[in-house]
Structure 1
Amino acid sequence: MKHFFIWAPFFLLCFSLRGQGTVQDYRRADSCKILYKGKVFNAPDNFAWIKSDHGFWYKNESKGGKEFMLVDVERKVQQKAFDHLRMARALSASLKKSVPAQDLPLQDVEFSKDHKSVKFTIDSARVKCLLPSCQCSVENVIRNKTGEGYWGNAFNEGASQPVKSADSLWVAFIKDHNVFMQSRKTKETFQLSYDGSGGNFYSSFITWAPDSKKLVAYKVKPGQTRTLYLIESSPTDQLQPKLQQREYLKPGDELPHRQPQLFLVDEKKHVPISDSLFSHQYALEDVRWNKDSRFFTFEYNERGHQTYRVLKVDAPTGNVSVVIEEKSRTFIDYSSKRFRYDLADGSQTFWASERSGWNHLYRYDVASGKVINPITTGEWVVREVVHVDEATHQVIFKASGLDKDQDPYFTHYCVVNFDGTGFRRLTTSNANHIGFFSDDYTYFVDHYSRVDLPPASQVIITATGKPLMEIQKADIQPLLNTGWRMPEVFSAKARDGQTDVWGIIIRPSQFDENKKYPVIEMVYAGPHSFYVPKSFTERYTGLYALAELGFIVVQVDGMGTSWRSKAFHDVCWKNLKDAGFADRIGWIKALGQKYRYVDTERVGIFGTSAGGQTAAGAVIFHPEFYKAAVASCGCHDNRLDKMWWNEQWMGYPIGPQYAECSNIVNAPKLGGKLLLIVGELDDNVDPASTYQFANALIKAGKDFELITVPGMGHSSGGEFGERKRRDFFVRALLNREPPSWEMAYPAK
């Protein structure tokens, strides 16, 4: 009897693991991507207003197939935009191919104002169809669009063509690194600058004043060039590997120095402008002349992102003064929260700032550089300005954190007067609201949902905030019939014991509360936003599939992420290794206290990119809690990654904080199981980051797994990576050998 009690916990553990990580679980997991697809009906999530009309169209997935719907708001009528069968027949005849009526593949749809015709793209043809007859004709054939330039390419200062003056009498251009102008009437040419050279040249991006008597051109001292090299091991067009290369600046690299210079046309005079207020540049951009040509403004982002200025240059003197100066002891979130709107007469400008500790709008007097008044205030944040109405002196905007009894990330729409009075809500229900406004802002479609509330949509009158008509309510019963389980929203206290952190819980479809389930956290703590979904979606199939193997899968937004208070966000500054771990761990422990089936002794984590850095950091800096991690394409040392993202959060100049947060430097601290995945052609995060991390782990005598995916760029590893990730967690957290892939993923 004594021996029974010794072995009883072991038998109970084995019994609790039955049905977790089995062949049946794998097959059920793999079926999620098909099983859940197309099971949500009447849940359109995009609404396109017709130009200069109080009507809009949307695409609806009904049980009968895809429907294009047309709504007349004034008449409160919605109906099918056309006879879908007739349209299918017409297109089949025109294109000489079968086009299904239940799934019309129409892109870039554009209805006429009178609703009597519609244009759209199908295949490579731009087609116009008369309604209701569906008489269609091909207007033109669209050539293949050239790919967008690589994000890391340096700005090409010489890419602009000659620039015409506002009155079209002159054209300005660059020749021999200097500024010239030419009369378009007489062809007489004048040289305006004489100080340009190859090492300090004038940019061809020239900005004329509205009066055509002045112009601004940048003088540019080039910065550093850095090249990222990638080896494509398995090209499709040849046997031998290829060497690829990209422009790729990294933290600490030297940047160009730009200095705007003023030129007076009538006098053919160059007016130098002092750079004393913008000498230490990260970026200099957005030259804007005011309407009467008395001055122009531009924006200066200081290297390190702790000072940001809007500067004004008077014409013709060239004197520089500050209109707006933003300073922070940590960082200014220019990449996510920058907003500026200049009134048409140039007298005032609206500006977004976190100076109060919350992101709000301020009204400035341009002449004095003084704040006239805050436009919004309170312990909540302005997320987006939708419209500034100069006629009514009102601002329509999107905000979050307005309701203490709601998820603080839910977005709502509001209106406020320029002077800060007259604040009113346009949406209030306990849901995440996404608005689609008519082009005169008289109406908007309010699409609202939560992860645990199916979506619905309605038209709201902007002037009153009152609903006018219902558009759709989702039918998710077919999805529920598959066994799909709705996520649970859960909140717990952050490390400070006061602030709530929010996340979601995903359980397997065959959940049994009598079992014990390890926890797997999907992480992305990149400080530029938050990442736990707030709107309803069944498309998170990767997480649902992972849960099907016998796990509780969670996501949490801890401190250091964005769109809460400035103090909440500042936790990340020069401290990316923090990644909100204290809050995440506390949240998971609170979850375990609430639900006995949550096993907080077996916790895994995975993520990609910045999430890959964080996932690996979990088993380096917190191995007492996280037992296993999968890190894909991680930036494991922020000195190896792209400049703009890393200097924004880790600061400039490069200091000891970079090494302190480095997974590579701290590799000897690895205390959990680790799988690294990297694409050999990742041009977002330098693959060397993963390779150097692996090298450091090898030198430290640490056991880990490494997968390099040939031909793959920045990703989680594709289907191969997904399968390896599942197997890794089944071994590490369920202590079970996964089934062979031939059994788990039978050929279809």
Structure 2
Amino acid sequence: MSSPNQDVTPDFERSASLADRIQNAYIETSISPRWIGSGNAFWYRRDFGADQSSFVTVDPEQSLRQPSFDHERLATSLRDVGIEANADSLLFTSIDTSRDGKSVKFRIGEKIWEFRDNETLAEYNGEIKEDSLTPLSSEQPSDSSDKSTFITFINRTKESVALFWIDYDGNPQRYATVEAGKSNRMQTYSGHVWRASYSDNGQLIANFMAQDLDAVAIIEEEKPSVAKAIEKSSSPALSQRPESSDKPQALVKEYNVWVRDADGQETQLSINGTEGNPFDHTIYHSPNSQFAVAYQYTPEQTSTVYAVESSPKDQIQPRLKQFQYLKPGDNVRVDRPRMFDLTEKKEVTTDDALFQNPHSIYDMGWSADGQEYRFLYNQRGHQVLRIVGLNTQGQVRSVIEDSSTTFVDYSQKEYHHEIRDSNEMIWASERDGWNHLYLFDLQTTNMKNQITRGEWNVRSVESVDEEKRQIWLKAFGAVECQGPYYAQLARVNFDGSDFTLLTSGDGTHTWTWGPDRKYLIDTWSRVDLAPKSVLRNAETGEQVVALEENNFDNLIQAGWAPTERFSAPGRDGKTMIHGIIIPPSQFDPNKRYPIIEQIYAGPQGFFVPKSFSTLTSQHELAELGFIVVQVDGMGTNWRSKAFHNHCHKNLKDAGLPDRIAWITAAASQSRPWMDLGRPKRPRRPSLARRLLQSRRRGLWMPR
């Protein structure tokens, strides 16, 4: 930290200018494959500098990666016809190419060109394949995401276009301008929404939503009508009615369940439905329509919470707001599924002992033979998660269940997949102390076998092949001696045999499948390792060809300090705690620096970055003369169940004993420059505010 008489203005200036300095210092090639023809080859755009790129074609069958065409010759040919062009900054972002590379078609402005045999350039009169985002049918707020991606906006109008990011409240934030006939590549996040409007009058042209993969957004004068499918709700219909009108149909009116016969005659089946205890209008008919299940419920209580909006946009005075918000101890909605025989026109009596105190009940549908209706019961307090079955004779049974003396992590780890042909179910559970998959017999309710096992976690299931009886899954920490949070792709058989890792490399992985799942693109990185990408055989995981290897040398030259990983035992002296250390770029090992921890300890996830990014906000803080650290302490998610249990009725703990142990260990292990004493307050805070607030809006991309 600066001495009392030291001028700290340079620190604040470095912090305020960091985003500017590194904006173009790190250009990452994140591979967005565009598969050719039947999917046996693909091309991608390789970005290697500010406004610098090239096109690469990959032939997996030949293990070949090569330029899609001769960039120098094409640039020369374009200049010969009067189009300004450089080999490393061609005026197009997408190509339509043949697998052998003998023909490449592309659009510049309003014209389409074809470059054949790396020699002949001519205008092309036909249509070409262009990958672009489909405009949204209506504007909507952006979704929060930490998945970084890019959109290249191509302006094919005859006027200047302004680009606005739509923030989480639905408000437009202007970021950039794209001149007529030009393009602009914007870094963004998956789920973020962008507006393209004419610069002169603000007239809306189109809205686009960023996807996981890099994409192109073509801005045109007139777009074809957008399908309205995006506006359709994915929620179930109010009543799951029989397909045929000659079958009895259950319905709800006057708070009770009725049945309507084929001739239209209606008969009341229940009598205890009231305004305070009605039946829900969603009804679940059995496959043969002889039975139906309806949920009678007690509504949640009214619990009004008040808040003051201190600075409304449309008035000077504060505004009082109120909204419905249940607090601990308040009465939640309580559902009670009831079975009805539509043929006999009566309720089938069932015992609710297995689902008396629900936090929630979710429909799981009828069994394949139509003899049992199933739902997922989440007990209030979250100590029991149970699949309950009601059969048409009124018998109630527990099909599968998990219980815990602390909590069942239903919000992050609940997973089930029914295999209807064999009457089995894949079920995720932490019953052995880690989140793993199990195979159950739905007829007998017996567990047939544990599918995955070990001191690592199944993060999610990618896909299930019921015919091959195989599962593809994302695993956290499955590779010993690597980070416990690093993601890998794996495949395993239903019986637990042949567990195979399909990705490889010390880091956390993301992957993109080829169209026939014959190949996959595997990308991995760490906070101290820029992304690497290879193409793999999706069956064996073997590397087919290396694609890209990024580095951050230019970042360091621009005044960015590398991030350090560090691990040390936590409060118990044995459980490893993992975190990162970020020094200022002007780091001097002979000085002592106060430590600031960027802390979040919510039990729903982990929060220390695992993959590579510039971590701009953390580095800006470090530039002010601090060592910035982030730590995942006990009570956060995706370690062992015992690790997670520390948060149970103990959120105030926040993993602080682990954070203290970790920081103490970091400072004592060859890091005397980490000052464990009381941090000193930076001088001239008004200057800090002025400089930090002077950052251009366009440099900041909220997540």
Q: Calculate the TM-score normalised by the size of structure 2.
A: 0.74
- Counterpart selection for 1:176 from 245, 254, 274: 254
Identify the residue that residue 663 of structure 1 maps to in structure 2: none
Identify the residue that residue 81 of structure 1 maps to in structure 2: 94
Identify the residue that residue 736 of structure 1 maps to in structure 2: 683
Identify the residue that residue 33 of structure 1 maps to in structure 2: 19
1:99 CA drift (Å): 4.6
Identify the residue that residue 206 of structure 2 maps to in structure 1: 123
Q: In the superposition, relative to structure 1, how do residues 160 and 144 fare at CA in structure 2: closer, same or farther (>3 Å)? A: closer
- Counterpart selection for 1:140 from 202, 220, 225: 225
What secondary structure is seen at the aligned counterpart in 1 of 2:355?
coil
Distance 1:289 1:295 in 2: 6
Per-residue Cα deviation, 1:470-528 (whole angstroms, up to 9, x for no partner): 34332433322211111000111112222211110001011111111111111111111
Per-residue Cα deviation, 1:328-376 (whole angstroms, up to 9, x for no partner): 1111111111111111326111111111111111111111111101001
Of all paired residues, the percent bearing the same amino acid is 37
Matching of residue 534 in structure 1 with residue 610 in structure 2: yes
1:416 CA drift (Å): 1.2
Distance 1:310 1:408 in 2: 31
Q: In the superposition, relative to structure 1, how do residues 548 and 64 fare at CA in structure 2: closer, same or farther (>3 Å)? A: closer
* 1:166 and 1:211 in contact (8 A); partners too: no
1:462 CA drift (Å): 1.9
Matches within 5 A, 1:163-242: 163-167=240-244, 172-182=250-260, 187-242=264-319
Distance 1:513 1:367 in 2: 67
Per-residue Cα deviation, 1:183-204 (whole angstroms, up to 9, x for no partner): 6x75554444333211111112
Per-residue Cα deviation, 1:125-153 (whole angstroms, up to 9, x for no partner): 89xxxx9x99996212689999999xxxx
1:318 CA drift (Å): 2.4
1:735 CA drift (Å): 5.9
1:239 CA drift (Å): 4.2
Distance 1:14 1:239 in 2: 41
Matching of residue 397 in structure 1 with residue 397 in structure 2: no
What secondary structure is seen at the aligned counterpart in 2 of 1:577?
helix
Distance 1:263 1:403 in 2: 51
Distance 2:109 2:258 in 1: 57
Identify the residue that residue 510 of structure 2 maps to in structure 1: 434
**Which segments of 5 or more consecutive residues in structure 2 lack a partner in the other structure?**
69-92, 97-104, 112-153, 161-178, 191-203, 210-215, 697-703
Identify the residue that residue 309 of structure 1 maps to in structure 2: 386
Identify the residue that residue 357 of structure 2 maps to in structure 1: 280
Matching of residue 544 in structure 1 with residue 544 in structure 2: no
* 1:68 and 1:82 in contact (8 A); partners too: no
**Which segments of 5 or more consecutive residues in structure 1 lack a partner in the other structure?**
1-12, 110-120, 150-155, 603-626, 628-731
Q: How many residues align?
A: 579
Matching of residue 103 in structure 1 with residue 187 in structure 2: no
- Aligned CA-pair RMSD: 3.8
Distance 2:108 2:450 in 1: 53
* 2:239 and 2:284 in contact (8 A); partners too: no
Q: In the superposition, relative to structure 1, how do residues 147 and 320 fare at CA in structure 2: closer, same or farther (>3 Å)? A: closer
Q: In the superposition, relative to structure 1, how do residues 135 and 494 fare at CA in structure 2: closer, same or farther (>3 Å)? A: closer
What secondary structure is seen at the aligned counterpart in 1 of 2:653?
coil
Q: Decide which moves more: 441-450 or 230-239.
A: 230-239
What secondary structure is seen at the aligned counterpart in 2 of 1:163?
coil
Matching of residue 44 in structure 1 with residue 30 in structure 2: yes
What secondary structure is seen at the aligned counterpart in 1 of 2:647?
coil
Q: Decide which moves more: 591-600 or 93-102.
A: 93-102
Q: In the superposition, relative to structure 1, how do residues 299 and 746 fare at CA in structure 2: closer, same or farther (>3 Å)? A: closer
- Counterpart selection for 1:264 from 327, 335, 341: 341
Matches within 5 A, 1:373-384: 373-384=449-460
Distance 1:48 1:328 in 2: 47
Per-residue Cα deviation, 1:162-195 (whole angstroms, up to 9, x for no partner): 4332446566542211234546x75554444333
* 2:156 and 2:220 in contact (8 A); partners too: no
Identify the residue that residue 554 of structure 1 maps to in structure 2: 629
Identify the residue that residue 124 of structure 2 maps to in structure 1: none
Matching of residue 63 in structure 1 with residue 46 in structure 2: no
Matches within 5 A, 1:150-169: 161-167=238-244
Distance 1:338 1:45 in 2: 32
Identify the residue that residue 646 of structure 1 maps to in structure 2: none
Matching of residue 486 in structure 1 with residue 562 in structure 2: yes
1:406 CA drift (Å): 1.2
* 2:2 and 2:8 in contact (8 A); partners too: no
Greater share of helix residues, 1 or 2?
1
* 1:224 and 1:253 in contact (8 A); partners too: yes
Distance 2:565 2:676 in 1: 22
1:531 CA drift (Å): 1.0
Q: In the superposition, relative to structure 1, how do residues 164 and 438 fare at CA in structure 2: closer, same or farther (>3 Å)? A: farther
